[in-house]
Structures are given as structure tokens and as C-alpha cells.
Structure 1
């Protein structure tokens, strides 16, 4: 019951304010007519019409100005409602000097806080489940399919050794095809579960990632990776690795670039990951890849920006604050 009354309070306050504004204007008009020498005949004379028109115009203008000033925050509220995106956190409406609508503004900002918190929690749960599923698939690829292909290779080797000379060339071709499949299975497993990230750390994982990217795409990756990184939590390292992985994948698929720059720079305040290419640029709409990167960035309180200039390439920048917060 109390909550319902509290919810209706801003509407009642706004009604009282508008009623008071109009009441004061009508009272002022009545006083002016009462104490001014102006009179109105019945019927109205032609010479009295300008006085009535001027008085009505002044009252309407004053009423419009005062009401417009009282309702001005609604325009700002509508603008924020149109542009708000939960993946771009922190977009709020200033609640200073909003009069009777201050409660509405604070309620709207509180709603955004709750929505962003719920979205962040649900995204974290979804990404955690996704990583667990990736690890499961990677283990199955490596332990089951990989082992099965290895057994087939060993059996083929024994067959090649006993086969007639005329069949050995064909068997060698089959053997190389299976060996290629085994290598591809291992590469997919490594992409799904970066074991080097767990074993050797973020620096080595990014080096291996860029090397594999160059081997697969033929594009050179120019690396600048600081070695003196602060101690980072597993979540932060995984977010950096996945965003770098997705950024390089987008370059290979869409950029038509001839060069890629990958850097990870550490300062006392921030840790900055940058993936830049010299491709065609002009990223008009953010696809699922970029939106996925934004979701990952929000999980660690980071800020992701994408700058794309037609003909000059695209730059993806992830900034993770390290001062005043724990990265362990």
C-alpha cells in the first residue's frame, strides 16, 4: 500500500505544480483586470479587442514557458530511453535541478542500475556455461577423436609396411590426410580451450594466438606485449584472450587487411589491449562478435571501444582499470 502511494506521489506533485501555475496566471490576470483602467463592454467593442488579445497572449506565453520548464526533464528522459544500451553501461540522466520530476529521474536511473546488474549476472552465468561447454568439447576432441585418429595412423603405418609397393603411395596419401585431420582437431581443441593460457600465462597465450592466426590467414601480426603485467585473475586473463581471439577472427573474416597490430600495454592505472588493422574499416553495425566482446568486457568492469574509419581500418581497444580494484 505504501509503495503504491509512493509511486503516485510524483504524479500528484506534478499535478499540483501545474494547477498552481495556471491558478497563479489566472489570478494575476484577474488582478490586472480588476485594478487596471481597462474595461470590457457587452458586447465587446472593437477598440477593446486588442486589450483582450494582448492579455490572452501574455497569459498563454507565460503558461507555456512555466509548464515547458517544469516538463523539460521529460525530453531528456525520452532521449536516454531511446539510446540506452545495456552493453554501454553508465548512461544515466542527470538528476540535478529537475524539480518535481527528480523522483521520476532517480527511479529511472535506479531501474537502469538493476537492469545492468541483472544483465551482467546473466551474461556471466551464460559465458561461464559457454566456457565449461568449450572445455568439455575440447577434451572430447583431444581425448576421444584425437586418440582415435592416432590409432588409425598407427594401424595405417603397419599396413603400409606390409603393403605391396604399388599400394604404398596411395596409403601414404591417406596417411597424410588423416594426419592433417588430426592436426586440425588439435588446433580446434586449442582454440576452444587455450591450455597455454593456464600453463604458461597470458603473454605466451597471446603470442601463440597471433602465430596461429598468421599461419592460418597469412597476415602478419606485429606484437607489442608488455612483460611486466600485474597479477591478473583467471577471469581477466580469459576475457583478454577471448577478446583478442575474436578481434583477430573479425580481421580475418571482414577487414581485407594486409597488417594487424596486437598490443597489450600496462600502466599503473590501466591495462590496455588493442587490435588494429589497416583494412577497409567502415563498421556500420555491430554484429554478434563485437557485442559478445562488450559482454565479456562488462564482466571485468572494462570499457571496450571500436573505432572504424572507411579505408583506414578498424581499431578495437579494451581498457581494464587496475588501480583501486583487485585484479587477483
Structure 2
């Protein structure tokens, strides 16, 4: 029965009964006596109560739908509302679920394209830094060395200082290029890339300890890149903002169907601060491969980043 008829028929029934009572055994006199007032008051109360019950039962699914619409979170997809209620309400809930399915599909495709374009741009910038800027600084370094070898002592010291400054800049350019495009990830795999990352990320006063399981299930290149980027962002946050002197990064299999990355530090924690672009970027990458990301306080203080990655194995025949 449609929502209209569910509301109209009880109202019509109550009004018809009231009319029959007034036309039949019940009459209204002037002035109204006590018995007539009781009958009319009881009829009005019954009518209002019936309206309230019917409206509450009919509109409750709409209230649940409104709450579901308000609670939709793009960063936590998959929540759907159970299709219940009268025909129009059930159709509306089903349409809402279909719309959320379409939006999540489109968002996932858009997110994948955006991250792919971002990685492509990083690769291009890293290549240009290595091939163009790196080679130019190398040529400058060689020219400075050649000139310093022939210069007089007062000028030679200045040239040696410029040579060291140029070498430091060249090393920094190479380090930035490696962070933009982790070649070791493509060549040697995830474990080796994480070892190199912990070596490069270290800052004065910060010790990073590695706990990498020796035998990990095979991961596809996109999954490995996501795990590496999440670890990179987490360690970068530790080095820049956590004010920590110790951090631990661990990567281990969990059962037969998942791999777990954990980065924890002993710093000041995130407190009640809103998630920044770094954490949002980690969540976006985790959603891309169907992983679960949790960022919160560690067991002994500081911040803990927990990434659980499902391992999709192929069946053999």
C-alpha cells in the first residue's frame, strides 16, 4: 500500500465513524452536556492517536534515510541502508543506495586517475631533476674542481668552498629525485625500498628501527607503491612534526590474506588536530587498493599509523 493510502484510509475511517456516531445514537445539544463532551473528546483523542501512530510508522523509514544521507562518508565507503517501508519509501531508499554506488564507483575511478597522474608527474619531475639539473650541477662541480686546481691559494679556498656547496646541492637534488620516484622499489622490491627510506628519512636526534618480515606474500606493483607512499608520508610526519626521538616501522603478514604496515613513534601525538592533507592522501591511497587505514594514538603515546592491506591471490588450475 502506498504512503498516501496508508495515511488517508485511517483518517477517513475515523472521520466516517465519528460522522455515523453523530448522525446515529449520539447527538449534540445546546448547551453540550457532559456525556456528549466525553464522546466528542474521546473521538478526537482516538483520531489524533491513530494519526500519530500511522504517521510515525510511515515516516520512520524516511527519518532513517535522512540520517543515512547525513552520515555518508566518502572516506568510509560501503555503508548501505536496508530497503524497508511502503512502496514509495522503499523505492526512494533503493534509489539512494544506487546513487551512492554510482558516486563511489565514479569517485574511485577519479581517485585512481588523479593518483596515477600524480605519480606520472612525480616521475617526470624526478627524471628532469636527475637528467637536467643533476647533470648541470655535475658539470659545474667538475669545472670548479678544474679551476680550483689551477687557482692561487687565496682564490683556491673560495673555489673549494663553492665546490663543496655545489656537491651538497647535487646530493640534495638526487635525494629529492629518489623521494619523488623510488627506483629501488621498482628494481629491488618493497622491503629494500623501505630500508632505503628509513635510512634517508633520518634526522638528527631521531632513530628509526625496522621490523620487516623476511617472507612476505607477493603484492602487485600498485599495492607496493601505496604501502611505500603511506610509510613515506608517516615517517615524514614523524620527522617534521612529531618531536620524537624514536620511531618503529614494521611490515609483516597477517594470516594468509593480509599484510600489515605499522609506523609508531614516541612523539607528542596528533591530539585533537584535524587531519591534514598528508593523512587525507594516505586515506585516499588506502581506498584505492581496498586497504584499511587507522591513524591514532599509540599504546605508549605518540602516533600510530596502521595500514592493513588485503592480499589477492590467484587461483591455480
Please indicate, yes or no, whether the TM-score normalized by the shorter chain is above 0.5: yes
Q: In the alignment, is residue 302 of structure 1 matched against residue 291 of structure 2?
A: yes
For the residue of structure 2 that corresponds to 1:307, the secondary structure is: strand
Measure the CA separation in 2 of the matches of 1:237 and 1:22.
64
Alignment-derived partner of residue 4 in structure 1: none
From 259, 262, 270, the equivalent of 1:271 is: 259
Q: Does 1:202 align with 2:202?
A: no
Report the counterpart of residue 238 of structure 2 in structure 1: 251
* Pair 1:227-2:214 in alignment: yes
SS of the aligned residue for 1:239 comes to: helix
Q: How many residues align?
A: 312
* Higher alpha-carbon deviation: 146-155 or 217-226: 217-226
Q: Helix, strand or coil for the counterpart of 1:260?
A: strand
> Which position in structure 1 is the counterpart of 2:12?
23
Report how far residue 13 of structure 1 moved.
Answer: 2.6
Residues 75, 250 of structure 1: alpha-carbon distance in 2 compared, 3 angstrom cutoff: farther
- 1:156-200 per-residue CA deviation (whole Å, 9 max, x = no partner) reads 111111111122221111111000000000000000000000011
Cα distance change, pair 226–217 in 1 and its aligned pair in 2 (3 A): same
Distance (Å, rounded) in 2 between the aligned partners of 1:258 and 1:291: 25
Query: Which runs of structure 2 are paired with 1:98-247 in the superposition (5 Å)?
Result: 98-100=85-87, 101-214=89-202, 216=203, 218-247=205-234
User: Using the alignment, how far apart are the partners of 1:197 and 1:306 within structure 2?
Assistant: 24
Q: 1:217 to 1:198 in 2, by over 3 A?
A: farther
Question: Quick check: 2:11–2:47 contact (8 Å CA) kept in 1?
Answer: no
TM-score by length of 1: 0.87
Where in structure 2 are there 5+ consecutive unaligned residues?
A: none
State the 1:233 CA deviation: 0.9
Pair 17,204 (structure 1): closer, same or farther in 2 beyond 3 Å: same
**Structure 1 unmatched runs, 5+:** 1-11
Corresponding residue of 2:77: 89
- Structure 2 residue aligned with 1:7: none
| Conserved 8 A contact 1:222-1:260 | yes
**Which piece of structure 1 moves more, 296-305 or 173-182?**
296-305
Tell me the TM-score normalized by structure 2: 0.90
